[in-house]
Amino acid sequence: MNWNFWLIQTFNGISYGALLFLVGSGLSLIFGVMRIVNLSHGSYFLLGGYVALSVIWTTGSWLLAIPVAAIAIGAVGLVMERVFLRPLGFDPLRQVLLTVGFAFLFQQAALDLWSGNNFDINPPDVLSQSIAVGGVYLPLYRVFMIATAAAIGIALWLAMEKTRMGAAVRATVDDAEMARGVGIDTSRISMLIFALGAFLAALGGVIGGAFLGIYPGLDFEMLPLAFAVVIIGGMGSLGGAAIGALAVGLADNFGKALILAIKPTGLFGRE
Amino acid sequence: MITSMSSHPFKILLVVVALAAIAVITPGTNSFVILLVTRALAFSILVMSVDILLGYTGLASLGQAAYLAVGAYATAILATRYHIGLGWDFWLVLLFGAALGAALAAIFGFLAIRATGVYFLMITLALGQCVWGLAYRWNSLTGGDNGINLRDRPKFGIDLANEVTFFYVVFGVFVVSLLAMYTLVRSPFGRSLAGIRERELRMKILGYNTWLHKYIAFIIAGAFGGLSGVLWAHTAGIVSPVNVELPTSVDALLMVVLGGSGTLVGGVIGSFIVFGLREYLSTLVPWWQYVLGVVYVATILYLPTGLMGIPERLRQWRARTGNRGEARKLASATP
């Protein structure tokens, strides 16, 4: 146990948190604007990964796969919001059940289209290397994950704080009825935010697919983690999502690291 | 929403006839159907407990699989490790499972009951996931991903390994549970639950301790969930983290909505339909899961009151068209 060990654990925790931020921020915004608990959010993550795989198989370009997958799944989210969620009006239970119904449908569709095998998304060789920082070797891919999440987080924050659209979104989060009263088209904002959430989750799926892998069941594994991020950070807040993601990412890594350090056979393992 | 399952003797008679039909017809069919009905009945107890929360108290819980799981895991662990519950003490395990479910609900209730609406949904979901994590990771106790295989069913004078005998035991426990829950929702306590569902603030002002009412309802639902788990463990013969997964909780909730919430028997109908679709369709076509997904989505979109709500909707529709006819007659009579 030395400094390097803890340094690497912290770094791993932050990079995992970066991934969780991509998934959790969308979920948080959707909840904030629409008060919908979107249980198909994990499916967007998984489908994003699968679409990216298809793009990589046909074109061989990882760089192309990222935007194509994110935009495709964003479009899926847009259609789902317009065609199915919007007509339900405000009824939390029915909305939640509807998103679950879709999660099941997506699960089956993914199984049929991409089979039940485990896949890995291989990033280009450039990103597979490690860089040395102060004697510690850091995998470049994880640096890339942190940079991407940071860039997206800053872009989202700027959009929320500095643009007219962002102000409208914040107003809707605070009080949708008042927002409608002053002439904000909350229906359009809901649509955009839902699509944005799906977009971000799919982006997370492509980026996370490199070290989590893409396999059936990943959707319902990511979902509770995304919820943990949202619950810790507070719903509808970007900054909260960032803090929540870091907390969950670090806790996940340090939890494991602590157990490894104290009891190498696991909490309930036998010596 | 009108409180359902009215004391109308006709409706009660209908339920009794349906139950008698199940008890008489099932044993004569093949073992596939017997197992299917037994499964549906065992799971129905959990589904009805979800209805106590959703239909009668207005609490949508997404974590009820946790209570089924503690009952099922307790049964499996006691049976495989200590050989408890394989004789007449099966009945004790049944009570123990219910007590365990109630105890877990008493702990979780403290955290969950404060929240309402979507927040209640999220908290129960998170708590359910905690139990899932335990089942999945606590390898030495739960067998982790593989779960625990139950090789033998109890034997005490009668042999539950016989599928017809076992069916009758599950059927008996199911009927007793249905009666107990029916009595509960018809009792003054059940009435005040319905009051909370309709307007919690008013009940508070009237002097009811609504928190305590909801807390007790949550514990009762947990107890029936645990009971259901004991039966489920012996029905399925295996207990694994699948029983705790979110989809299991969601299944129970969807069955209630499909059949009609606030009716108790609606959930049972939903459970039979879903189990039937799943088991039969999966032997016929590979795309059965789409059918299930479409059934769910269509129910939520077009049938918010569930199957049990159809007669009421028909009546309303008839009344409306009838009125329109009357109006037309009137209009033509007065030129």
* A175-208 per-position pLDDT tens digit: 888 888 888 888 888 899 999 999 999 999 999 8
**Cα(A93)–Cα(B262) distance, integer angstroms:** 14
B334 pLDDT band, cuts 50/70/90, is low
The answer to whether A94 faces chain B, any CB pair under 8 Å, is yes
Partner-chain contact B60 A223, CB within 8 Å: no
Here the contacts of A133-141 (C-beta below 8 Å, separation 24 or greater) are: A135/A4, A136/A4, A136/A7, A136/A8, A136/A11, A138/A8, A138/A11, A141/A210, A141/A211
A271 pLDDT band, cuts 50/70/90, is very low
Over residues B67-79, mean pLDDT? 91
Give A132's Cβ-side CA count (13 Å radius).
2
CB within 8 Å: A35 and B62: no
**What is the Cα–Cα distance from B136 to B309, expressed in whole angstroms?**
39
Predicted confidence at residue A268, as pLDDT, reads: 46
The answer, yes or no, to whether residue B5 has pLDDT greater than 70, is: no
pLDDT value of position A255: 66
Q: Indicate whether A145 pLDDT > 60.
A: yes
Please tell us whether the domain made up of B26-304 is placed in CATH 1.10.3470. Answer: yes
| pLDDT band at residue B327 using 50, 70 and 90 as cut-offs | low
DSSP single-letter state for residue A214: B
List of chain A residues whose C-beta atoms are within 8 Å of the C-beta of residue B289? 104-105, 107-108
Residue A203 is predicted with a pLDDT of: 93
- Cα distances (Å, whole numbers) of residue B245 to A59, B133, B136: 37, 9, 10
Q: Is the pLDDT of residue A70 over 90?
A: yes
CA distances from B252 to A158, B35, B75, B258 (A): 43, 19, 21, 10
Q: E strands within chain A? A: 130-133, 136-139
Report the chain B residue with the minimal C-alpha distance to residue A36: B118
Angstrom distances, CA of residue A169 to CA of A31, A33, A159, B155, B240: 12, 7, 10, 64, 43
Burial of B330 (0-12, 13-18, 19+ CB in 10 A): exposed
The SS3 call for residue B170 is helix
A37 shares contact with chain B (CB less than 8 Å): yes
- What is the CB-side half-sphere exposure of residue A256 using CA atoms within 13 A? 12
All domains in chain A, ordered by first residue: 3-262 (1.10.3470)
CA nearest A109 in B: which residue? B290
Q: Any idea which of A139-148, A243-252, B166-175 has the lowest mean pLDDT?
A: A243-252
Q: How far apart are CA B41 and CA B48, in angstroms?
A: 10
Residues of A with CB below 8 A from B301's CB?
84, 87-88, 98
Could you give the percent of chain B with pLDDT greater than 70?
94
Residue B297 confidence (pLDDT): 83
As a whole number, mean pLDDT of residues A151-166 equals 90
Q: Residue B122: what pLDDT?
A: 80
> In a 10 Å sphere around its CB, with 0-12 CB exposed, 13-18 middle and 19+ buried, how is residue B146 labelled?
exposed
* The pLDDT value given to residue A233: 79
Residues B247-269: tens digit of each pLDDT: 888 889 888 988 888 888 888 99
pLDDT, averaged across chain B: 84
What is the reported pLDDT for A267? Answer: 45
- Over residues B308-331, mean pLDDT: 74
Share of chain A above pLDDT 70, in %: 92
Q: Select from A251, A201, A177, A243 the least CA-distant residue to A22.
A: A201
Write out chain B residues lying below 8 Å of A98, CB-based.
Answer: 297, 300-301
Q: Closest chain B residue to A95 measured between Cα atoms?
A: B300
Q: What is the ipTM of this complex?
A: 0.73
The minimal CB distance from B122 to the residues A108, A112, A227 is found for A227
A3 touches chain B (CB under 8 A): no
